Structure 1
Amino acid sequence: MDTKELYEKLKSKYFKKLFAFAIIFTMFYIMKDLLNIFILTFLITFLISSLNKALTKQIRKIFHIDDVIVSVFIYLIIFVMIIYSLYKYLPITIKQVLDILDELKNFDYDKINYSSSEYINFLLKHIDIKKYILEGTQHVFVLMGQIGHFTFDFIAALVLSMFFMFEKYKVLSFVRKFKESKISWLYGYFKNLSTSFIDSFGKVLQSQFVVAIVNSIATIVFIYFLKFNHIIGLGVLVFILSLIPVVGTIISVVPLSIIAFDVGGINYIILIISFIIIFHAFISYYLYPKLMSHKVNLPTFFIFIVLIIVEHFLGVWGLLLGIPLFIFILDLLEVDFS
């Protein structure tokens, strides 16, 4: 292959597409430790931007309003809700968590009645229950630390999305300057592919939205029969957390388990955790792949395989980004799957 032929290949659109994809992959790899913040920022910005468009469209039927002002009100409401929730529920949550841990720590395990079965009696008397409970308590503290780290990422992402929404037109104007630069061809590819990615991500988010509704309704019905208080508030909390795959479900276990313990003790905690595990399995392995298959017009088999592979490399965020990335690659290869 001579120099001229090599130069022509480097100028070809396929090489340019491959180069664009390599840049994106490299950026993902370099920033993998910051992936939570960036994906949360994208997710929050996408949701608030969609809400902003819907509200602005309705308000402008009555009077003209700048969409930045609508964004200000949206973020103001969000921050007020967060501050109010922390003020009202955080002290109660901390107290109940400490009460649960204290009760588990001081529980007299020798008084457990094993008389119902000689076999169970033999097993339990030779198992150091207290040891496993204390180890479980340590895992709870680790989980709480992870939740704290996720909370920090969420707040950072919320602030980043706020600055983007407030300066959206300045940001877009700055990005458009690359259109006339020496890498204008790269700008063109990124623009087209990002449009495709955002469109497919919107479809994924619609599916996740349906999953969140189903999950919150099922949870409300279940906790209603367990005689929980503040059912609607808990339902809203579960709905919001359900928008975040897997992690949201894990986080929702904490407040539900605390209230379950307060209402019915350890038995209710077991019921809540069993319900969440079974229902989450139904959503993850049946409902979500089916919804995705319908939305993006791909076979359920491919949806399932893609979700498994991308989840392995990107973690829980792969469940949200897997299908858009797969469609992104199909667009890159000019595969017509419509």
Structure 2
Amino acid sequence: MYEKFLNNTRLRRFTVLGLVIFVLFLVRDFMTPMLLTFIFTLISVKIVKFIQRYIKAPTFLLATILYLIELCLLYLLIAKYSTILIDQVVSTYNSIVHFYQHKDFDSDIVTDFISNYFKNHNWQDKVESGAGIILEQLQNVGRLAISFIMSFILSFFFMIEKEKTVLFSRNFLSSEYAWFFQDLYYFAKVFVETFGVVVEVQLLIAIVNTVITTIGLGLIGFTQLPTLAIMIFFLSLIPVAGVIFSCIPLTLIAYSTGGLQTVIYVLVLIIVVHCVEAYILNPKFMSSRTKLPIFYTFVILLFSEKFLGVWGLIVGIPIFNFFLEILGVKIATKKTKTKKTEQPS
């Protein structure tokens, strides 16, 4: 019975796949650090391999230099941008205080309005609800920051011992239960190949978003564009939602720079960039790199975002291609079609 199970490749692989899905469901709370670690490692491996085409240097040295450069960029971004953001918040607060203290401003009207509003509404529940929402969002930001740091460290440890880690992992392929790890390796290889294409597409989209947004901010009248461009690029690596995340700091800076009119310009710019990314760049780039029709790509992105959230925009296409490979569905391209027509009957 056991030997028959091992010899039935299709049944065996579907059993292993079911077990993998079950384990991933159990550890779904750790999905964010797992995906971040995978993305950081994949990007680092591709960058190091690209450099090694021209410079024959050990992976350990190149990985160390790469991560040091990334840390320096993050430090400059946080140190410089946080100062700018704090200054803009203070400036906005001072502007509001100055507005209310202005001699032409009738404070009694506002006081009466606030007093009547609190009398007619259950303000205590609203304050508690608002405070709860703010606290929950702060906790989510904190969890994301911790996941980001841990994933960055884990990917660094993998890169500095890449050869040693790969050699050690290969021992599982020749163990007593080699069939299980060979099937895992097969699934991982299929998923990584497609996922690598998706990460490359997201990097390309991030670059396009950064260029468009930076040019738009320059036309609006923003200063210190290099710092803002770095922030926009990092946020654009988060599919679709990254454009929305940049809305708050950019609107604060816009209000301090040119008032409400500039805020409206920035919001229009963000909406345009968001629509271009979600409905043009993402489906088009994904379909061109994954050889899927734009219709299929668009539908997959819609459903994966609905059921998997923001991460679905990244893992949706790899999961779909993953199941195509398992089911034996071959994607016919124009080249393969022309080759078939050229063959004599």
Is contact 1:245–1:319 with CA below 8 Å preserved after alignment?
yes
> Deviation of residue 72 (structure 1)?
0.6
Flag the 1:176–1:88 CA change in 2: closer, same or farther, 3 A: same
Is contact 1:193–1:331 with CA below 8 Å preserved after alignment?
no
For 1:245, what is the secondary structure of its paired residue?
coil
Single out whichever of 293-302 and 66-75 deviates more from structure 2: 293-302
Work out whether 1:67 is the aligned partner of 2:59.
yes
Select the residue among 67, 77, 84 that pairs with 1:85: 77
Flag the 1:227–1:159 CA change in 2: closer, same or farther, 3 A: same
2:186 alignment partner AA = N
> Deviation of residue 257 (structure 1)?
2.0
Q: Deviations over 1:260-284 (max 9, x none)?
A: 1221123322322232123212221
Write the distance in 1 (CA, Å) between the matches of 2:91 and 2:135: 14
2:245 alignment partner AA = I
Write the distance in 1 (CA, Å) between the matches of 2:141 and 2:95: 23
> Deviation of residue 46 (structure 1)?
0.9
> Deviation of residue 20 (structure 1)?
2.1
Q: Look up the match of 2:150.
A: 156
Write the distance in 2 (CA, Å) between the matches of 1:214 and 1:45: 23
> Mapping of 1:299-338 within 5 angstroms?
299-338=293-332
Q: Look up the match of 2:46.
A: 50
Q: Look up the match of 2:336.
A: none
Flag the 1:220–1:177 CA change in 2: closer, same or farther, 3 A: same
> Deviation of residue 98 (structure 1)?
4.9
Identity %: 30
Flag the 1:73–1:9 CA change in 2: closer, same or farther, 3 A: closer
> Mapping of 1:25-44 within 5 angstroms?
25-44=21-40
Select the residue among 150, 157, 165 that pairs with 2:159: 165
Write the distance in 1 (CA, Å) between the matches of 2:212 and 2:319: 31
1:96 alignment partner AA = Q
Is contact 2:214–2:225 with CA below 8 Å preserved after alignment?
yes
Is contact 1:147–1:251 with CA below 8 Å preserved after alignment?
no
Q: Look up the match of 1:212.
A: 206
Work out whether 1:234 is the aligned partner of 2:206.
no
Write the distance in 2 (CA, Å) between the matches of 1:143 and 1:23: 34
- The TM-score with structure 2 as length reference comes to 0.80
Q: Deviations over 1:158-195 (max 9, x none)?
A: 11111111121222122111111232112222222222
Flag the 1:108–1:152 CA change in 2: closer, same or farther, 3 A: same
- The TM-score with structure 1 as length reference comes to 0.82
Write the distance in 2 (CA, Å) between the matches of 1:135 and 1:107: 28
Unmatched 5+ stretches in structure 2: 107-115, 333-345
Q: Look up the match of 1:116.
A: none
Flag the 1:265–1:144 CA change in 2: closer, same or farther, 3 A: farther
Q: Look up the match of 1:262.
A: 256
Q: Deviations over 1:214-258 (max 9, x none)?
A: 211111121111111111332232122212213322332233223
Q: Look up the match of 2:4.
A: 8
Single out whichever of 92-101 and 194-203 deviates more from structure 2: 92-101
Aligned residues: 314
Q: Deviations over 1:88-108 (max 9, x none)?
A: 332332343355467568865
